[in-house]
Amino acid sequence: LDIKNLQSFKVELTRFMMTYKFALDEMNTKIKILQEEFEYVHEHNPIEHIKCRLKSPESIFKKVLRKNCQPSLESIKAHIKDIAGIRITCSFLSDIYTLSEMLQNQSDIRVLEVKDYIKHPKDNGYQSLHLILELPVFMTDRTEYVCMEVQIRTIAMDFWASLEHKIYYKYESDVPKHLLQELKEAADSAAALDRKMEGIHNEIDNIKKRKKVYDENHKLQ
């Protein structure tokens, strides 16, 4: 590449990355709206935290090489679906599916893929619900349909995934067998904890509902 070409590639790449940033901003707003209204209507906040990230150009190019795709922006757009990523950590298992349904039902969102690693955990124990979504971003002179990966998980799943990620990098992918076994057991414990917390949450919810009915009946008398 000569200087002129390099400069025009830089402009193109910056514009390309901007569309993903805008898509993240849009999705972040959508999730915050759902969170705020859900809390108002159901008196329960389903989201613990939201984390947005843009893949760095370095890791995009690593993935390009791994996937054997052309190093052009068109090919990257077509093959790499997680340049923009949002991770939503929920309080309870049921919140994951409620939020996922709410996002999937929005008319400007196109659902490209759903990977349910909660119903079908990975062999290492990894659990999360992954949605590959596409949404329109209205630019000054065009509309771009931008893809992103939304990962939805509980606090326990997130705790497990971040620890596993650190161990994986520490051992440069070559994790000792006994640690893999222990990680799998920890994933099973995390799943059991999630089910227990869901049960407690449902019980408290039922008590709250019964109290509301009782209070309303007594107000009427």
Of the residues 26, 144, 149, 164, only one is catalytic, namely 149
CB of 154 to ligand 0O2, least distance (A): 14
Closest to ligand 0O2 by CB, 13 or 69: 69
Contact set for ligand 0O2, span 22-81 (CB under 6 A): none
The 3-state secondary structure of 8-61, one letter per residue: HHHHHHHHHHHHHHHHHHHHHHHHHHHHHHHHHHHCCCCEEEEEEEECCHHHHH
Backbone angles phi, psi at 9, to 5 degrees: -65, -40
Task: Report the alpha-carbon angle 88-89-94, nearest 5.
Answer: 100
20 touches ligand 0O2 by CB under 6 A: no
Segment interacting with ligand 0O2 (CB under 6 A) among 28-36, 98-106, 118-126, 210-218: 118-126
The yes-or-no answer on residue 149 being catalytic is yes
> Given candidates 124, 189, 202, 206, which one binds ligand 0O2 under the rule CB under 6 A?
124
Strands 47-54 and 84-90: antiparallel
Query: Which one-letter amino acid corresponds to residue 81?
Result: K
Binding residues for ligand 0O2, total number by CB under 6 A: 10
Q: How many CA atoms lie within 13 A of 64 on its CB side?
A: 17
Pairing of strands 129-138, 110-116: antiparallel
165: contact with ligand 0O2 by CB under 6 A? yes
Stretch that binds ligand 0O2, among 26-34, 41-49, 122-130, 134-142 (CB under 6 A): 122-130
- For binding to ligand 0O2 (CB under 6 A), which residues are involved? 82, 85, 115, 122, 124, 126, 130, 161, 164-165
